[in-house]
Amino acid sequence: MASESVVSDLTAAANAIKALSTDEDRFRALFDAFRATDADSYLRLLEEAKVSDRAELVCGWLCSKDCVLRCLELCGPPRDEVVPDVRELADLIVKVTQDEELVERLAGSVVEPDAKAWQALVAELKAERLCHLLCHWVCTVHCRLRCDRLDTRATLSVRHLVDELTAAGGAIRDLLADKGAFAEATKAALAGDCELMRGVLTRAKLDSRCQWVCELFCTWRCIRVCIELCRQFPLEKADTSLSEAYAFAQATARLVKHPEVLTALVDAVEQADAAKFAEIVTKLELQRFCIQLCHWVCSWHCRLLCRCVCHPVRAPFFTQVGHFNITSDISSSTGLTNKGLAFAGLYYGGGPGFAFQGLLELRGYCPADSPIDGTAMKYRFLLAGSNTPVTGGRVGQVDVGSRMVNWPKQDGSGTTIAGTDSIPQSLVIAGSPQVDATPPNVGDPWTGPGIHTIVPDGDGWVVVDPGASAFTTLMGLESTVDAPGGAPLPGSDAGQAVLNPRSGQDLGIVFEATRVSNPMASPPDYTNSLTKLHVNNWGEVNELSIQQFANPVTLGCTPIDSALDVDYTADHELMAAWDLSITSFSSSAPGSVASGTVPRGQFGTVSEVTTSWKPCSYLVSMSTRAALTTGLIDNQGTSSQITFCVGVHGGG
């Protein structure tokens, strides 16, 4: 992870801490709200200090400070000895987390914190040498969960600490089983090498659980580095009071005046340069804060490293209309599909040469967190040329995934009971709001959370729900608003040319994505477009009549004797196929009598001599199918039919 990223974030954090530490009572209230996971009070205090946009950075500082205080209280000042190997820590974690009672004691004694219970557990495990490592590992996991609960955008359920530690232990156990991978991961952690660490965990098939593995190595590295850097400034007695925490906040705030010093501190920690770090700490008279200063820098470096390893955030991009890739599957010159694809619903492959119709599902990718700085993301679609945002009636409802929400429990009979479970709630994007379901009360019949509707704002912006991590279905575009169509309008009788043949329209679609913190969104952080998409929402003209039935009085009642004249008109801008046929149970029926595939179809009269046809009921049918698709479902065409009968010839 580049030092510049760490320096930039720590500078912003120091500015936020400066604003929060101008009043000691407010700082104490913030620290209390943080420890109590009181999101309402915590967020209110951040807003009052006008630093709510840096909530993650503030939480990172508080986490680092709180973990140092807790572990000093539980373990005392660090011993002047070599930090054990990370494998020793990993073995201990696996042992503890595989025992339900031990892991509950482990979590409880850190969360409280309870020094007596903690020391008894450490003695029982014979893990005195690992006291600080084990404590900081638990506190690191606990703090991540706490920051998730305090997140201004968080809507997902956060796992209980015991469950999280147990899951982390399982991932660490699996990595320990691969000695080569564990050794490589250790090397990557010491070097702070994101790509190496990611590659190791991917090969070990632990990429989906890499957060837990990364936290193990980060905890070990930071304790190892900070004990080494602060050996010459030993703590005789640990001060774990809030007054000491406030003093460290003021010391952090002073770093804002010395950006070059903060850069030097980051370099010294990343390079584990004890002499350089000691020189800076001495010059700033921060010797008593040595451990916590080092831990703050190192823990944030680790957080960015784990984000890089575990969340290689892809840049937002508009990629598809339905199944069709906007670059490779849609012709830039015609706006039509240039190939057929094999997907269920694409009954005719969706191409080549198909136009688009109806509700178009615009797909791509937009993460909840910006690849630039990890802040919230939003996106929108515009119509090229007019730059009209896709909002209101232009938005067709589409399913964009789900998020986890806390919801009342139910018993086996479907009755609501006390407590909550974490269950999925469907997310949709639509043009108008829908009220979310109200949680049922205890004793009422249980009902689920239903769907949560996200409506683009007046400028078309959609904020990615953080509970979903990312959206891959981005929007539903109701194409009939800007390329209207409807029922076919022949304008003349069957057998005649269409007087006013209808054609589709070309639309251009622009995608923009940017950070929510970019208020004007000009220019957006990311943009790409589909320059031409041909849309046709007109149905096929499918007109059919029998000349012998021109008299409405005898329509369908007088049998055909010697002649049958069928008038037909088939028309569409993109007629894929049309067919006129006469069928019957009798073998006299000729079957298909006219057909074609040439746009725009055809019109005319088919005349048949019926003197040799057997008396029976007959059906004349015309089917038409335009080359149209939504990108997910192909048009299946239209059919019209007329029945008639052939009687006994000569009237006998």
Tell me: do 306 and 340 sit in the same domain.
no
Residue 150 to residues 12, 38, 236, 374, 543, Cα–Cα distance (Å) = 19, 7, 35, 16, 65
- pLDDT (average), residues 287-305: 89
* Angle value at C-alpha 399, between 461 and 528, nearest 5 degrees: 45
What is the average per-residue pLDDT within 459-481? Answer: 92
Distance between CA atoms of residues 126 and 114, nearest Å? 18
**What integer pLDDT is reported at residue 155 of this predicted model?**
38
Domain containing residue 508: 317-532
Same domain, 184 and 105: yes
Query: HSE of 508 in the Cβ direction (CA atoms, 13 Å)?
Result: 11
Q: Tell me: pLDDT of 207 over 80.
A: no
Percent of the chain with pLDDT over 70: 94
CA atoms within 13 A on the CB side of 64: 29
Q: Tell me, what CATH number does 566's domain have?
A: 2.60.40
Residue 493: per-residue pLDDT: 83
Confidence at residue 492, expressed as pLDDT on a 0 to 100 scale? 66
Mean pLDDT of all residues in 465-494: 86
Closest by CA position to 6, among listed 211, 194, 163: 194
pLDDT of residue 158: 53
**Pair 361, 321: CB distance under 8 Å:** yes
For residue 279, give Cα distances in angstroms to 264, 272, 276, 291: 10, 13, 5, 14
Do 252 and 353 fall within a single domain? no
My answer on whether 382 and 460 are in the same domain is yes
CB 546, CB 642: distance < 8 Å: yes
Token pair in block for residue 620: 């004349």
Average pLDDT over the chain, rounded to an integer:
89
3-state secondary structure of 429: strand
Do residues 333 and 461 share a domain?
Answer: yes
**Max mean pLDDT range (40-54, 104-118, 612-626):** 612-626
Prediction pTM value: 0.57
Structural tokens at position 449: 């959370």
Residues 337 and 270 in one domain: no
* pLDDT of 461 above 60: yes
User: How far apart are the C-alpha atoms of 354 and 620, rounded to whole Å?
Assistant: 28
Name the pLDDT band for 520 (thresholds 50, 70, 90): low
Q: Would you state the pLDDT for residue 19?
A: 92
* pLDDT score recorded for residue 521: 58
Q: What pLDDT, on the 0 to 100 scale, is given for residue 552?
A: 56
Q: Mean pLDDT, to the nearest integer, of 604-614?
A: 94
For 148-197, write each residue's pLDDT tens digit: 888 744 434 456 889 889 989 999 999 999 999 999 999 988 888 888 88
Contact 335, 627 (CB under 8 A): no
Residues 271 and 420 in one domain: no
Final residue of a domain: which of 310, 339, 371? 310
Q: Based on the domain organization, do 591 and 457 belong to the same domain? A: no
Q: How confident is the model at residue 259 (pLDDT cuts 50, 70, 90)?
A: confident
Same domain, 298 and 202: yes
Examine the fold and report which residue of 497, 532, 567 is the final residue of a domain before the chain moves on: 532
Phi–psi pair at 616, nearest 5 degrees:
-175, 170
Tell me the three-class secondary structure of 278-318, residue by residue: HHHHHHCCCHHHHHHHHHHHHHHHHHHHHHHHHCCCCCCEE
pLDDT on residue 157: 44
The answer to whether residues 77 and 140 belong to one domain is yes
CB atoms within 10 A of CB 522: 8
pLDDT digits (tens, 9 = 90+) for 219-230: 999 999 999 999
Which are the contacts of 413, defined by CB distance < 8 A and separation ≥ 6? none
Q: How many domains does the chain have?
A: 3
In whole angstroms, what is the distance from residue 30 CA to residue 246 CA? 11
Q: Answer yes or no: are the C-beta atoms of 325 and 350 closer than 8 Å.
A: no
Whether 485 and 551 map to the same domain: the answer is no
Asked whether the CA dihedral 290, 295, 296, 302 is positive or negative, the reply is positive
Per-residue DSSP letters for 69-125?
HHHHHHH-SPPSSPPPPHHHHHHHHHHHHTSHHHHHHHHHHHHTT-HHHHHHHHHHH
Residue 477 corresponds to which tokens in the numbers above? 């575009």
pLDDT at 2 over 50: no
Domain finish residue from 290, 310, 330: 310
Can you give the C-alpha Rg of the chain in angstroms?
Answer: 35
Residues 383 and 280 in one domain: no
Residue 90 and residue 172 in contact, taking contact as beta carbons nearer than 8 Å:
yes
pLDDT over 50 at 531, yes or no: yes
